[in-house]
């Protein structure tokens, strides 16, 4: 709620995410991606309201990513949207769901060094012996490409990129069965982007689930198994990553526009701006920016085969016939 008005920041978002899989959630800034992540972890403002379900299925009590591991009794499934703050704080955040936050500086304790925060996190989330905390913390930092000679610095002494890497190191410590990475490559140069997403990919390859929220389509292409495209609070396309970035390519006009805007592709930005979430138009929210809009777009399209668009067949066929250098 804002100014006495109800604003639907995310509507009808539906997807699943399996162990060992990476789902990239992409879209322009302000489309609701980070709101979705905050909802899953119970981090929305007090006046926010959620509906529906976000079920985290049972996971082994020993932290192993694979249910049924020897010597581990599965933890019960939990609906993240109805869980109490006590449940989320004590048994979910960090343990069953890790988070690389969008604003890492706000999540780092300002009066403690990075080393101290890593050691504390290792102590809380793992069974590493006390005398091995230092080396475990340094190992976590190395995984996130955080330089060892900066471990004894305080958050205010870090650049934005270093704060991002510190937050990534903290998120990886617990080996949570589900990791939510919200813009994990912000402030990093290309080499560090690749190193960071490769480490996140390894997290998934070890049998854990990864939800990566990003506007960096190159990073998404590098590690994602599937891609969900969000526009104005709705998921408008859900597709296999290989098909999305390759052939046949995106099917929703907005998703195609995102790829066409890349310098290595058509370098043609989508005209206009996204609507404000508090002033969404009737019907398809993308219609005002879409070259294929018709009178049918006055109603909200229902997803069909993962795409919410009234003109998917026509547009997909036309796009497939475009010249390769179009």
318 has pLDDT over 60? no
Residues 6 or more apart from 138 whose CB is under 8 A from it?
148, 151
DSSP E strand boundaries for the chain: 22-26, 55-56, 78-79, 97-100, 178-182, 209-214, 226-231, 234-240
Task: Give the pLDDT mean for 236-244.
Answer: 97
285: in domain: yes
Least confident residue range of 39-43, 234-238, 239-243, 318-322? 318-322
Q: What is the secondary structure of 265-283 as a DSSP string?
A: TT--PPSS-PPPGGGPPSS
User: Final residue of a domain: which of 160, 192, 214?
Assistant: 214
**Amino acid 312: pLDDT:** 82
Are residues 207 and 311 both part of a single domain?
Answer: no
Average pLDDT over residues 129-145: 96
- Given a cut of 70, whether residue 320 has pLDDT beyond it is no
Please tell me whether residues 165 and 40 are part of one structural domain: yes
Number of domains in the chain: 2
Is 130 among the domain residues? yes
Both tokens of residue 92? 């979910």
pLDDT of residue 67: 40
Residue 287 lies in a domain: yes
Q: What residue has token string 């192993």? A: 64
CB 164 within 8 A of CB 187: yes
Q: What is the mean pLDDT of residues 221-227?
A: 98
Q: Are residues 209 and 253 in the same domain?
A: no
Q: How confident is the model at residue 105 (pLDDT cuts 50, 70, 90)?
A: confident
- List the CATH number of the domain containing 123: 3.40.50.300
Same domain, 150 and 35: yes
Best CA proximity match to 234, nearest among 311, 296, 287 = 287
The answer as to whether 114 is a domain residue is: yes
Identify the domain containing residue 179 by its residue range.
30-44+79-214
Residue 2 lies in a domain: no
pLDDT at 316: 44
Q: Where a domain ends, among 197, 214, 231?
A: 214
Residue in the structure block whose two tokens are 């310098």: 263
Instruction: Tell me, yes or no, whether 108 and 186 share the same domain.
Output: yes
Residue 304 lies in a domain: yes
Same domain, 191 and 91: yes
Q: Predicted confidence band at 215 (pLDDT cuts at 50, 70, 90)?
A: very high
pTM given for the model: 0.90
């Amino acid at each position: 709620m804002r100014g006495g008005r109800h604003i639907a920041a995310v509507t009808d978002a539906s997807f699943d995410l399996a162990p060992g899989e990476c789902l990239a959630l992409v879209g322009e800034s302000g489309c609701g991606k980070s709101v979705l992540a905050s909802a899953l972890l119970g981090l929305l403002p007090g006046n926010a309201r959620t509906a529906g379900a976000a079920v985290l299925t049972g996971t082994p009590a020993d932290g192993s990513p694979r249910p049924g591991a020897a010597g581990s009794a599965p933890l019960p499934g939990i609906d993240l949207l109805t869980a109490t703050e006590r449940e989320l704080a004590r048994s979910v955040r960090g343990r069953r769901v890790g988070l690389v936050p969008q604003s890492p500086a706000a999540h780092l304790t300002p009066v403690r060094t990075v080393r101290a925060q890593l050691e504390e996190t290792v102590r809380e989330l793992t069974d590493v012996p006390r005398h091995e905390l230092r080396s475990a913390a340094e190992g976590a930092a190395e995984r996130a490409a955080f330089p060892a000679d900066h471990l004894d610095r305080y958050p205010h002494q870090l650049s934005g990129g270093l704060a991002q890497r510190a937050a990534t190191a903290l998120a990886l410590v617990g080996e949570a069965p589900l990791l939510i990475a919200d813009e994990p490559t912000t402030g990093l140069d290309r080499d560090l982007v690749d190193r960071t997403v490769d480490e996140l990919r390894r997290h998934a390859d070890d049998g854990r689930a990864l939800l990566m929220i990003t506007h960096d389509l190159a990073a998404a292409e590098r590690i994602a198994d599937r891609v969900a495209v969000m526009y104005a609070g709705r998921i408008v396309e859900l597709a296999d990553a290989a098909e999305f970035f390759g052939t046949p390519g995106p099917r929703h006009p907005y998703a195609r526009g995102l790829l066409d805007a890349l310098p290595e592709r058509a370098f043609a930005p989508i005209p206009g701006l996204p609507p404000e979430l508090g002033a969404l138009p009737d019907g398809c929210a993308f219609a005002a920016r879409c070259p294929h809009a018709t009178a049918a777009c006055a109603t909200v399209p229902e997803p069909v085969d993962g795409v919410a668009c009234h003109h998917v067949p026509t547009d997909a066929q036309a796009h497939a016939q475009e010249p390769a250098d179009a």
